A and B are shown apart, each in its own frame.
Chain A
Amino acid sequence: MRIGCEGERITDAMSATDRTPAPVCVTTRALFGGFLKIGMSGFGGVLPFARRMIVDRRRWLTEQEFTEVLSLAQFLPGPNIVNFSVIVGRRFQGPMGAVAASLGLMLLPLVIILLLAALYNEFAHIDAVRNACNGVSAAASGLVLSVALKLAQPMRRTPWKIGIGAIAFVAIGPARLPLPWVLAVLAPVAVAIAWRSRR
């Protein structure tokens, strides 16, 4: 049980920190501001920036809590980082916190990217602009590959994980099979294997 920001005790199932008390109190305002900052710094993916701010700088969550929240955010449908902001926001301030965190994350970047797109349309006929964008495309796909390989690192000693990952890759990448079917088959199989190999 923790003490909320206004001094009231948080008694419902609102917090996973019941057993590992986090001595932090994060206001709705701080959630909005914090996620605003995360959103604005997330070039080429937000996650590394989120980790740095939430765990290292402001210590809203411990490393382990961060990973727990992230894995939950990851396996639920919807964009990871939006789900992530909803869970973190809820954890500290309930519904208002969830709204504040997710809006903080998305609002400014949405405006900026639409402005950029309008500008790009305006200048797309200039060869240098189009070519620069081609360069960024090439580098950006390299970044995506690197994220996948980094996430794969801890799995490289577990044969079934490599197998499941490889099947998912081939099915969606080279084979271009439809995602719903691939998930419908692969997800239960993967969970069943994980269940059987638990210790």
Chain B
Amino acid sequence: MISPPLFELALQFLMLSLLSIGGANAIIPEMHLRAVDIEHWMTDADFSQMFALSQAAPGPNVLIVSLIGWKVAGVAGALVSMLAMCGPSSVLTYQVARAWDRFRDAPLRIAIERGLAPVTVGLILASGYVLTRAADHGWPAYAVTGTTLLLAMTKRLHPLWMLAAAAGLGALGLV
């Protein structure tokens, strides 16, 4: 017997998984909408801190899903959420990859790839927007976001250094 919260988690992340064209970052706004505004699993601040944790920890950013599951239903919630998020889509990917190889130079395949690329970029940009709105209260936080953006665009600096510096500034009470 599956308990209601686990079922709810599985359902939500299964739907999110099917929508996540363009990766985990592209569905952050939708995830935020469902977890905070619709399901009331957590506050805005909870969400942005989970995102920060998933960014600062090693591994794919999609791991934020396990944190949401964990918050709602403990370790079982984390596992169910991750399985719902990755399982069915992986099976689908496996099958499509097999077929895809045969249509390597098909014009439709190329049109699909070319057409969806800018959609993906727009979605990731929207994620950055939603996250900035959730995380930044006051000008010091906006300054940190802006500086990180600038450094990431112009310097070949390891992202971890920027996250560490921001953590330091935060710990000193400056953000």
A interface residue numbers (CB < 8 A to B): 13-16, 18-19, 39-46, 71-83, 86-87, 90-91, 95, 98, 102, 105-106, 108-110, 112-114, 116-117, 120, 127-129, 131-152, 155, 160-162, 164-169, 171-174, 176, 178-180, 183, 186-187, 190-195, 198
CB pair B86–A79 under 8 Å, yes or no, is yes
* Chain B residues numbered 20-76 whose CB sits less than 8 Å from any CB in chain A: 20-25, 27-30, 33, 48-63, 66-67, 70, 75
CB pair B29–A13 under 8 Å, yes or no, is no
Cα A58 to Cα B16 in complex, Å, equals 33
12 sampled A-B residue pairs with Cβ under 8 A = A79-B85, A109-B57, A132-B170, A135-B166, A137-B48, A138-B170, A142-B149, A144-B128, A146-B148, A146-B152, A168-B126, A194-B115
Kindly identify which residue among A75, A98, A165 contacts B112, using a CB–CB cutoff of 8 Å: A75
CB pair B149–A145 under 8 Å, yes or no, is yes
CB pair B128–A79 under 8 Å, yes or no, is no
Nearest chain B residue, comparing its CB with the CB of A87: B97
Kindly identify which residue among A83, A113, A168 contacts B66, using a CB–CB cutoff of 8 Å: A113
CB pair B59–A108 under 8 Å, yes or no, is yes
Kindly identify which residue among B20, B29, B100 contacts A173, using a CB–CB cutoff of 8 Å: B29
CB pair B117–A139 under 8 Å, yes or no, is no
Kindly identify which residue among A16, A116, A191 contacts B104, using a CB–CB cutoff of 8 Å: A16
CB pair B58–A109 under 8 Å, yes or no, is yes
Kindly identify which residue among B49, B99, B136 contacts A141, using a CB–CB cutoff of 8 Å: B136
CB pair B173–A39 under 8 Å, yes or no, is no
Nearest chain A residue, comparing its CB with the CB of B165: A139
Chain A's nearest CB lies how many Å from the CB of B73?
Answer: 13
Nearest chain B residue, comparing its CB with the CB of A73: B93
B interface residue numbers (CB < 8 A to A): 17-25, 27-30, 33, 48-63, 66-67, 70, 75, 78, 82, 85-86, 88-90, 92-94, 96-102, 104, 107-108, 110-132, 134-136, 141-142, 144-149, 152-153, 158-160, 162-163, 165-175
Given A75-B21, A76-B96, A145-B125, output 13 extra A-B contacts at Cβ < 8 Å.
A13-B102, A43-B55, A46-B59, A77-B89, A80-B22, A109-B59, A109-B60, A136-B53, A143-B149, A148-B125, A164-B118, A179-B123, A194-B110
CB pair A141–B145 under 8 Å, yes or no, is yes
Nearest chain B residue, comparing its CB with the CB of A95: B94
Chain B's nearest CB lies how many Å from the CB of A162?
Answer: 7
Nearest chain B residue, comparing its CB with the CB of A158: B118
With A74-B23, A109-B59, A164-B119: A131-B51 Cβ-Cβ less than 8 Å: no
